[in-house]
Amino acid sequence: MTLAEFHQKHSKSGLDSLGKSQTFKAKVQGFSGEPVLVERLKEMGLHPGLELLALGQAPFGGPLLFRFGNTVLALRQEEAACTLIEIL
């Protein structure tokens, strides 16, 4: 799959639907899902317009890893699914 095909396929999807071993930049577009999870994500520093760098996934099916600024954030699958993004 080319980068253009990847971008088109995953534009405005949840962070959890992306390739676990791929590094990419994305911009948070918003949130969906349970209000408790959305509030937790906001408390962790995520907000619409924030650009993040996906680093991959922790070993043995662990959380997905993201970097923004000087922060590395580990999100469980259900938290990542609530975060709607656009690939940059």
Residue tagged 């906001």 (tokens): 42
**82 φ/ψ angles, rounded to the nearest 5 degrees:** -80, -15
The per-residue pLDDT for range 38-51, each reduced to its tens digit, is: 999 999 999 999 99
Structure tokens, 19: 């390739």
The per-residue pLDDT for range 2-34, each reduced to its tens digit, is: 444 444 444 455 666 555 556 788 899 999 889
Please tell me the pTM assigned to this model: 0.74
